[in-house]
Structure 1
């Protein structure tokens, strides 16, 4: 447990050397990086993965506004300092990727290199994201469902293990299947889980022990994690000074071709343009064939190889 930015964070760590901060997404915990600790530590890096605020054994502030992008980046900046370092590599998956990208955007002086899995670098749109998706999908996009106070919290909290089992299967390559990737739309009256298949068995890469650890990490409920989504429009307002700005530290982007996030409206076009938009993207975006949303868990060997190549080239 470490004190940072006015809260306490639980961290897992291994190894010594240049600091690599690994940031998980939703609905996850530090455990989602279990396959990265050993290889990165063996290569000479100090690997640290926190339960981010609102998750796991870390603090869960009650105020919705305590989950803005400035708070999330502030936690990373303070964590780097608390660990006695001046700079770090920052790697994020899913929601952890925007935190990593924004850390590099807001504090490039602290970031030796930044890598994002699933979610590409942030380019601030012309309109607030929640409002945009609400208009586009008639209030059925899952961000808008999550924005309703207490609703998704109650739905997922009734049976966290079943909710997590459904989520992890639905967003995996196995759940996506081979056809067109569908947008994650929710009937706000029925909830998301009602129409989400409950698998007879877990994906091969996700064990019952993994599900046990994940379920335990949500013993405090889902509200803290969902509060990240409830700040999407607020983050858009707060980030106005960075309109048109780009991430300048060396960068790596990795995604799966069966991941629902890179299929969001406008995202495929953004990914195609990244090499022109990102001045220090070290290579073309790495597209993993047959990989779903849980990038570093579904394809750990390929992700580890890409990360090690990226990190060692900058060390």
Structure 2
């Protein structure tokens, strides 16, 4: 008899409530706080790889206390959300954000994303300009930047790309706490354990049925998207100007993305654009520098019209 999956990593207690909602043909899990207000947008927090909603544990309560409804989601296929056979492409994952926002009753939403979640944040206002009020990304230059050949990424990034294509090994590794801890440490600032201290939770989430398989396939899609029909369609959408305020954040010790990776971001934005560098942080800025990250988010939200 199969051993039931341990999903306690999904339902970590806190000041938030755990909710399941239906959107875009999928059931999503999210950690939710705050009350709906007609005069303020919903705030969606979108995690990166290899994480899930828990990555935003430091930001949920301060955002709610500032008067916003906020939800840290588990992306399709990860954490407590449905593990659907489809949905590894960024177009579907971006449509999920719109569906989640509308299922929560929001008419306006701010999308805040880290890493791959930041890629979806960049796409959201291009796909749904009437819904998205602004975006803030951590460790995520504009999507089209990352598809250009060149030196906008580091050797460590390309090494991880290569490892991802050995799928059975990559999937097995993501279920191993020691591997996940090493990956988090490699992508973090030296000596900063803001993300690495949570390796137990992140590995546990990857051990949920099919989660590691889907995580690897989502990464593979990112790396091969320009050769796929759904990828070419997605990048055609991302050519559109971003007409809402955009702030981007980089940890100054990010080993995956050098500062030159953000040099062209302003070209894609017709509204306010601001780039912020957080000292002493690596790729997982919101966990490695939680107080600074929270302050940036609250300042961004307060600046919106």
Sort the TM-score into its range (normalised by shorter chain). 0.7 to 0.9
Matches within 5 A, 1:212-291: 212-220=200-208, 221-232=211-222, 233=225, 234=228, 236-242=231-237, 244-263=239-258, 268-283=259-274, 285-291=275-281
Matches within 5 A, 1:100-179: 100-123=121-144, 141-157=159-175, 160-174=176-190
Distance 2:235 2:195 in 1: 39
Q: Look up the SS of the partner of 2:51 in the other structure.
A: coil
Distance 1:257 1:274 in 2: 17
Q: For residues 17-49 of structure 1, what are the alpha-carbon distances to aligned partners after superposition, in whole Å with 9 as ceiling and x for unaligned?
A: 431000000000100000101111110011101
Matching of residue 98 in structure 1 with residue 119 in structure 2? yes
Matches within 5 A, 1:79-98: 79-98=100-119
Call closer, same or farther: CA 1:9–1:275 in 2, change over 3 Å.
Answer: same
Query: Where do 5+ consecutive residues of structure 1 fail to align?
Result: 176-202
TM-score, length-scaled by structure 1: 0.78
Query: Where do 5+ consecutive residues of structure 2 fail to align?
Result: 1-19
TM-score, length-scaled by structure 2: 0.81
- How many angstroms does 1:147 deviate by? 3.2
24, 28, 38: which one aligns with 1:9? 28
Q: For residues 237-287 of structure 1, what are the alpha-carbon distances to aligned partners after superposition, in whole Å with 9 as ceiling and x for unaligned?
A: 223533643322111100101112322xxxx4342333354222343x101
- How many angstroms does 1:104 deviate by? 1.5
Distance 2:194 2:158 in 1: 30
Distance 1:275 1:62 in 2: 36
- How many angstroms does 1:205 deviate by? 2.9
Call closer, same or farther: CA 1:161–1:3 in 2, change over 3 Å.
Answer: same
Call closer, same or farther: CA 1:282–1:62 in 2, change over 3 Å.
Answer: same
